[in-house]
């Protein structure tokens, strides 16, 4: 009987030892991986400036920067906000007839109306705009800081903004951060009529 017990104990020991050795020689099974979440590069906190300074730092927004200063709105866009600015690029301003631009440059009140047509109180980032467009009409209306109505809709798979005069602009870039809001690039000037 003692011999049987010794044989069984030896067999178990050999079996356990063999399993341990076998497990150590097998390559480890890698844990399943998931791709890293895609996030937009965050701006460093010390590099984010207010809306006025952020717009002024973008070369392709120099026309808008000049209009903001000429309309005496730079102090407003440095304010607490929050604001959402639909910022027309230089190409959008160059599409406006020179006589219209010259006329606006001579009248700071009209110029302020044009600039304010691109500024909405509150922060509407891309996610918020898309969420607002999920209603039954697939449109959203926003009020500018001076009470003008902007209608946002998806047209030909692009997000388009339309003012009360029928001027339209497509959003070409989303979510440039500022300390007092967010800036979206647009390819047209609103309220230019």
- Residues 178-188 as b/e (b if ≥16 CB within 10 A, e otherwise) read bebbbbbbbbb
pLDDT tens profile 110-148 = 989 999 999 999 999 999 888 888 877 788 889 999 899
Distance CA 83, CA 71 (A): 17
Domain presence at residue 110: yes
Are 77 and 112 contacting, i.e. CB atoms less than 8 angstroms apart? no
Domain containing 112 equals 48-127+171-186
Question: Into how many domains does the chain fold?
Answer: 1
Domain presence at residue 41: no
Domain presence at residue 1: no
Q: Structure pTM?
A: 0.72
pLDDT tens profile 56-83 = 999 999 999 999 999 989 888 888 889 9
CATH number for the domain harbouring residue 180 = 2.30.180.10
């Amino acid at each position: 009987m003692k011999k049987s017990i010794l044989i069984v104990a030896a067999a178990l020991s050999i079996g356990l030892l063999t399993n341990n050795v076998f497990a150590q020689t097998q390559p480890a099974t890698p844990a399943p991986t998931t791709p890293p979440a895609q996030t937009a590069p965050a701006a460093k906190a010390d590099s984010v400036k207010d809306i006025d300074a952020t717009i002024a730092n973008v070369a392709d927004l120099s026309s808008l920067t000049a209009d903001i200063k000429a309309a005496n709105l730079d102090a407003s866009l440095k304010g607490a906000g929050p604001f959402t600015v639909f910022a027309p690029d230089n190409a959008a301003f160059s599409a406006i007839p020179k006589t219209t631009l010259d006329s606006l440059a001579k009248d700071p009140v009209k110029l302020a109306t044009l600039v304010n047509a691109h500024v909405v109180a509150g922060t509407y980032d891309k996610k918020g705009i898309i969420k607002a467009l999920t209603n039954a009409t697939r449109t959203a209306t926003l009020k500018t800081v001076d009470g003008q109505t902007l209608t946002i809709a998806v047209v030909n798979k692009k997000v388009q903004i339309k003012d009360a005069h029928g001027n339209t602009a497509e959003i070409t870039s989303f979510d440039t951060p500022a300390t007092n809001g967010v800036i979206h690039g647009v390819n047209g000037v609103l309220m230019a009529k």
